[in-house]
Amino acid sequence: MDFLTFMSVFLLLISTSCYGLSENHHGDEEGGLLVVAPAKQQKEFDYFLLALLWPGTLCQGTNHCCSANACCRSNATSMFTIHGLWVNYNDGTWPACCNNGSNFDIKKITPLLGGLQIYWPSLSCNLESTCDGGKGLFWAHEWEKHGTCATPVIWDEYTYFLTTLNIYFKYNITKILIEEGYIPSNSEKYPLGGIVSAIQNAVRATPLLVCSDGAVQELRLCFCKNFEPQDCPNNVTPEEACPRYVSLPEYVPRSLGGKRSIPWSSNREAI
Ligand code: 5GP
């Protein structure tokens, strides 16, 4: 079975209406923003959120290069890259680290590594925190923190990464924006409402944008449990909120501290 056929069958199997999957409450709802509870006490999530990053903005803060950091790639990365597929509750909270036994294992996603390196790269040289308090790859952080909470829709690491890549390709946000004239630029400012409308028209749901100093830093798409798009709740903090006119900075390859910027490779050593 080829990749596309596999995904079509997979999406068909899990397809139900937006609210079709039964709620599975394992415990009391907790207050606060971040709900961290052992798997047995975790209630089932309400919706998915695909978080995308804009390297043109995030890489402006790069002050140290290493080969694992996509901000140090010599070729332009003028596209949204994947941050993660998160699961949220409708009340504005979210579960995290739902199964400490399910530690990230890179061997389980070997067939996907080529795509992950391009479309889901780390934009930092630092290792990320894992759920057991250790440090690991960006992918390990995303799977352990968010992916393990995606049951009963996503049960395993391979399916988590495959599903995320497929949604990312299906809703090609970079292409949607470029076709509507929102070209990466270090001088232009674009109306936030125009960007939101372009995505609403293409995806049929309202995205959420996060900004840093007036530049788009993250773009979030929300999905029902059957992966049909749904509107994202507007729950960004005032510091993350975008102004009426935003920039979409061009990606400038970093070449820092007198060190040569090299094409990205999967090795993690500093250069
Ligand atoms: P990560 O830890 O995956 O790199 O980034 C997730 C962070 O984004 C969380 O720690 C949290 O502070 C923030 N965040 C903001 N909005 C949301 C949301 O709607 N869902 C989740 N899961 N995290 C969010």
Task: Name the range with the highest mean pLDDT among 62-76, 95-109, 253-267.
Answer: 95-109
Domain that holds residue 64: 45-246
Q: In the chain, what percentage of residues exceed pLDDT 70?
A: 77
Q: Cα separation of 4 and 102, whole Å?
A: 27
Least-confidence region, from 99-103, 129-133, 215-219, 244-248: 99-103
Give the N- to C-terminal CA distance of the chain in Å, as an integer. Answer: 41
Is the pLDDT higher at 5 or at 48?
Answer: 48
CA of 51 to the centre of ligand 1 (A): 9
Is the pLDDT higher at 25 or at 13?
Answer: 13
pLDDT bucket at 102, cuts 50 / 70 / 90:
confident
Report the interhelical angle of 157-170 vs 138-145 (nearest 10°). 100
Residues with Cβ within 8 Å of residue 94, at least 6 apart in sequence: 34, 35, 45, 86, 87, 88, 149
Tell whether omega for the bond before 152 is within 30 degrees of 0, i.e. cis.
yes
Q: Number of helices and strands (H, E) in the chain?
A: 7, 11
Choosing from 36, 50, 86 the residue with most ligand 1 atoms within 8 A of its CB, the one to mutate for a pocket test is 86
Which residues have C-beta atoms less than 6 Å from ligand 1? 49, 84, 86, 88, 94, 142, 145-146
Kindly tell me if the per-residue pLDDT of 14 is higher than 90. Answer: no
* Inside any domain, residue 192: yes
**pLDDT the model gives residue 17:** 42
- Residue 157's SS3 state is helix
141 is known as an active-site residue: no
64 is known as an active-site residue: no
**pLDDT the model gives residue 61:** 87
pLDDT digit string, tens, across residues 165-202: 999 999 999 999 999 999 999 999 999 999 999 999 99
* Inside any domain, residue 49: yes
* Inside any domain, residue 201: yes
Measured in residues, the chain has a length of 271
Domain count for the chain: 1
Q: CATH number of the domain that 173 lies in? A: 3.90.730.10
- Please name the residue whose Cα sits nearest to atom 11 of ligand 1: 34
Atom of ligand 1 nearest to the CA of 94: 22
CA of 93 to the centre of ligand 1 (A): 10
Question: Catalytic: which of 83, 144, 157, 218?
Answer: 83
Q: Cα separation of 229 and 49, whole Å?
A: 10
* Inside any domain, residue 266: no
* Inside any domain, residue 268: no
Query: Average model confidence (pLDDT) for the chain?
Result: 83
- Please name the residue whose Cα sits nearest to atom 12 of ligand 1: 34
**pLDDT the model gives residue 25:** 28
Q: Residues 51, 173, 268, 252: is their CA dihedral positive or negative?
A: negative
* Inside any domain, residue 270: no
* Inside any domain, residue 3: no
Least-confidence region, from 19-28, 199-208, 241-250: 19-28
* Inside any domain, residue 265: no
Question: Catalytic: which of 142, 144, 157, 218?
Answer: 142
pLDDT bucket at 27, cuts 50 / 70 / 90:
very low
Q: Over 159-190, what HEC string results?
A: HHHHHHHHHHHHCCHHHHHHHCCCCCCCCCCE
Phi-psi sector, 243: left (phi>0), alpha (psi -120 to 50), beta: beta
Q: What is the rounded radius of gyration, in angstroms, for the C-alpha atoms of the chain?
A: 19
Instruction: For 61, list phi and psi in degrees, rounded to 5.
Output: -90, 5
